[in-house]
Structure 1
């Protein structure tokens, strides 16, 4: 794919480079190709120069052995320093049909890789960092979508009823439901229907005489996706009807039945799963925990101040956006419970704020109607109230936007970058917006604009308090060769962007970026719809991995001996919130930050946050030490593992030390 944003040399330079008789003839035969070749050669020469790297940074492509290349859909940094790259079926239906699911564990310290057995299809799941360092992964794919025009069997939601108060019933995949007309529908998944509830009501007549009990039976209910057993229009149903379950007899036939409102040949969306797992960084394996009550595909998982995790939104087991059935995971019991009800589009960007409320920036990644759940606001979980905030322009273009809580988190400012129209819209905006949640009646105000309208932008908090943004495209899934090979830093203090080196790999849908413990940034993935500018060839998933080395690690200032460094120290913050580390040169240390590790997918990373720490330097016999103090408010610093960076006066960071906050 051509890079439209590369440096173009002057005509004077081109004439010098292409001078000479033989080259003149060649130019006459194929001038555009030669000029393009010369331009690329000059660009490659320019970005390799030390002065360029020290000003803009540099990119390198990671050498990933073929057997470990995968379609990176999710990426999470673990407190072992390794990166978990989750593909699941990787948006590849052939792999889904084969039950072939991928997870790769990459160690940046020695560039080693390991395949992790993956028990279910975690494609488009949600994830959150737990307090003990495990990664909670919940939801994923039960069934791939079938597009309009490709649905050859009527299908939809079947509500299975159970009026038996004595026991639940399980129906295996393939169970048949027969309509009054005789047309049969087949279930696509196992379904367990809970037993009916029996309530007794006592009433009294004249003189206080107790009357016979009245019994009320409320049928148990579960839902399952069904398809017509035969192809063709005869399976279409537009009115509610009751369906008998084929094979049942006697009392079971009376108590168990199906009800469907509408069975059609319209587009059938992806369907979610209920499964949940914890990935253990020590054992390096997935460990199953209790499943969610609701199936979820495209959910957001966000850690709360008490260490519990809230699962929000997603497509359910029949492909419908959940209407507000959110739930809470307790890492102590490994179980889920009902959470506060609130509707959001899929993958909503929700940030834990001071006081424990969640702020919804308006960023989301896809499914849901354009007129519902798109407005940003503060969500009080305890009262279950939602207060909308104003000021955001291009409100119709928050889908596929990026959001971060600006560093440091104590400032309580959230920034939104770019975004596009709902669904397959070609709209893209260069708008950025910032909101200060400490203000009375907070509202967004416009920030500096991106160089162009951008969807799928990756945004990464850096140890020097800047925000690194990279990639994206100006059209839906990189359509029309619209990948943006640009990167920049946002400076919260000056409220300006500054240029960074251009990446060489385009990143749009299904791409990720995250901060590594050594201060570099790694980028994965990209799932373009087409592979050419004319949209005539199908795109292929981008499996190359690129690493960006920022200017602060270039030249002499980036040498290990010149960087600030932390030596021996604790692995856990003390009850008083303090931690003391040895350091040979405390004079080099100006600031300290706790950086929460990323768990990112679909431009959604609600985990990352940068915490400003109080810093004091040792005296007397402890002059070779520094002490950091962590805020006690767990809404500011949720429990878990963090990277501890110290920086010098020029913003050059140390390598991170991992430390646990209880």
Structure 2
């Protein structure tokens, strides 16, 4: 990867074109104009050529277009629409959606990137989707390549980061990357950082996972020695109840992760699943004893940054949960080896999930409000940037249904391989941040992003949530009022907290609902293992599958 970046800087490797760069406010106007134009066209279009949102009118696997796709391959009602690129002046290596509705990015300081003498210099940026602009916010140190999640009170928690860049002159052969022992919380209300107690070992590329009781499990990551060793201490943060307070950290067990940024998910039992990157790394951790137990082997390795999702359906009498792990590579071959696990019955093992049309790693998969999955970016080369993939793929059914197919939609124009991020926004669009194949300071300050509007946004105006509680409790029934009467479903989507394709906080929970006049009555599951405490985006869907703009609701 470093070689590729150096070739870019020398001008011997071309960076992919990013399309027409526009001002942020102009892209907002263009996106709204495109929706209004689609609404007008839809009124006059034959029913069989209208966009289906879920994508059954799109290209089938193998790329053969159906009638509807051939009739209007650029129709946003079938293909969705990407905004023109606009500038976010920081490389979005990590992206977290705050419950204020804003997004926080952070990264290395591009001026000091790869300079061992200035290893602790980082940058961060707060971005507002309403204007597509933002402002810098100084991080406490170079928290790039930390692990991150969101606590029940909305604070962002970060573990580890970059202690030192590789230094060929380091003594004792400690020339590798080194992870810091430090970790922090970030309060999105006053935008202040609070240093938490140091971990016992350094961590660079760790994974952090919120449990049902709001404690955070910290695993993996290169340690502080510069030797390249992966930390095997498993530590747990118990957050302080004060938004600006200092929690406690303790070592609870040891575990040899098979790689960096392992994918981890909370199961309905309250145990934590670890999935990959090695196929043999299929375990669950019991928070009652902190003992690890083996699960059946995965069907494939998912090395070099596969990704995964957790989707729970509580709308029926028998709740279901599906964990899906996708992509990465094995034996130096990029994968479309998607697989799934029943969260309620993990001992039954892994099953084949419908495969992407295009094998890739370094991609991002985002859960949409209608339960479908959107995969963007990544690459098909051996390392981080080679043979970048620009196609967008949409899973044609809700994630819980394993009989769907992946369908190709409108491609993005910015390159989004290693160090790119994608995240669901409250207006039901998806934000994509460019990768850093050109890592120069000049390129970083002109870093590109695009917003994807899925097909459902071109079917008609979004319903509006006119009233809903700001706080709900476990097992509670609550009313959601809307501006019209055809609401059919409701879902809680946890804000994303993603880096390197690993979203450590994203999950979706489809709720049990009862229609009512101009709205729904929804029921919060009674188990915090199904809905960990915290802020969620509450979306409602109408009978056409059009989601509302989300309202943030705190589950406690």
Output the TM-score relative to the length of structure 2.
0.79
Q: Which residue of 2 aligns with 1:457?
A: 363
Measured against aligned partners, the alpha-carbon deviations of 1:227-278 in whole angstroms (never above 9, x if no partner) come to 2xxxxxxxxxxxxxxxxxxxxxxxxxxxxxxxxxxx34xx721111122211
1:549 aligns with 2:467: no
Q: Distance in 2 between matches of 1:468 and 1:440?
A: 25
Question: Is the 1:471–1:508 Cα contact (8 Å) retained in structure 2?
Answer: yes
SS state at 2:472 partner: coil
Given that 2:421 and 2:501 are in contact with CA atoms closer than 8 Å, whether structure 1 keeps it comes out as yes
Q: In the alignment, is residue 89 of structure 1 matched against residue 77 of structure 2?
A: no
Q: Partner of 1:498 in structure 2?
A: 407
- Matched with 2:504 is 606
Alignment of 1:324 with 2:232, yes or no, is: yes
Aligned to 1:403: 308
- Partner SS, residue 135 of structure 2: strand
Measure the CA separation in 1 of the matches of 2:343 and 2:483: 39
Which of the numbers 514, 522, 533 marks the counterpart of 1:616?
514
Question: CA–CA distance in 1 between the matches of 2:408 and 2:474?
Answer: 42
Q: Counterpart of 1:61?
A: 84
- 1:341: Cα distance to partner? 2.1
Q: Which residue of 2 aligns with 1:166?
A: none
Deviation (angstroms), 1:449? 2.4
CA distance in 2, matches of 1:595, 1:466: 12
Deviations 1:338-366 (A, max 9, x none): 22322212211100000111112214xxx
Measure how far apart 1:427 and its partner are. 2.2
Which of 571, 581, 600 pairs up with 2:470?
Answer: 571
User: Which residue of 2 is the match for residue 343 of structure 1?
Assistant: 256
**RMSD after superposition:** 3.0
Q: Quick one: distance in 2 between partners of 1:615 and 1:552?
A: 21
SS in 2 for 1:552: helix
> In the TM superposition, what is the alpha-carbon distance from 1:379 to its structure 2 partner?
2.7
Aligned counterparts, 1:298-337, within 5 A:
298-319=205-226, 320-332=228-240, 334-337=247-250
Corresponding position of 1:164: none
SS at match of 1:441: helix
Q: Deviations over 1:480-526 (max 9, x none)?
A: x4001111111333331122111111211111111000000011131
1:276-295 paired onto structure 2 within 5 Å: 276-295=183-202
State how far apart, in whole Å, the 1-side matches of 2:443 and 2:128 are: 26
Candidates 500, 518, 527, aligned match of 1:633: 527
Point out which structure has higher relative CO (alpha carbons under 8 A, 6+ apart): 2
In the other structure, the counterpart of 1:76 is 96
- Residues 449-476 of structure 1 show CA distances to partners (whole Å, capped at 9, x for unaligned) of 2223211111000100101001110013
Are 2:74 and 2:410, in contact at CA under 8 Å, matched by a contact in 1?
Answer: no
SS at 1:633 equivalent:
coil
Contact 2:219 2:231 in 1 (8 A): no
Once residues 497 and 476 of structure 2 are traced to their aligned partners in structure 1, the CA distance between those partners, rounded to angstroms, is 25
1:344-402 deviation digits (Å, cap 9, x = unpaired): 12211100000111112214xxxxxx7xx85223232333443433463333x433111
Q: For 2:508 and 2:382, how far apart are their aligned partners in 1? A: 31
Distance 1:273 1:647, change over 3 A: same
* Correspondence list, 1:103-142, <5 A: 103-142=124-163
Question: Does the 8 Å contact 1:477/1:508 carry over to 2?
Answer: no
Larger radius of gyration: 1
* 2-structure distance, mates of 1:569, 1:130: 22
Q: List alignment gaps of at least 5 residues for structure 2.
A: 1-13, 20-68, 241-245
Aligned length in residues: 476
2-structure distance, mates of 1:608, 1:470: 16
3-state DSSP class of the match of 2:514? strand
Please give the alpha-carbon distance, in whole angstroms, between the structure 2 residues aligned to 1:353 and 1:636. Answer: 7
| Paired position in structure 2 for 1:393 | 299
* 1:162 counterpart residue number: none
Q: Which residue of 2 aligns with 1:360?
A: 274
Other structure's SS at 2:503 match: coil
Unmatched segments (≥5 aa) in structure 1: 7-45, 156-226, 228-262, 364-369, 532-538
SS in 1 for 2:467: coil
Match of residue 596 from structure 1: 494
**Contact 1:89 1:123 (C-alpha < 8 Å) held by counterparts:** no
Does residue 511 in structure 1 map to residue 425 in structure 2? no
Correspondent of 1:654 among 534, 542, 548: 548
Q: Give the Å deviation of 1:442.
A: 1.5
Deviation at 1:530, TM superposition (A): 10
| Equivalent residues in 2 for 1:3-402, closer than 5 Å | 52-64=75-87, 69-89=89-109, 92-94=113-115, 97=118, 100-146=121-167, 151-152=168-169, 155=170, 227=171, 263-264=172-173, 268-319=175-226, 320-332=228-240, 334-344=247-257, 345-363=259-277, 374-390=280-296, 392-395=298-301, 397-402=302-307
Q: What's the offset of the Cα at 1:626?
A: 2.8
Moved over 6 A (4+): 46-50, 539-542
Give the whole-Å Cα distance in 2 for the aligned partners of 1:646 and 1:386: 38
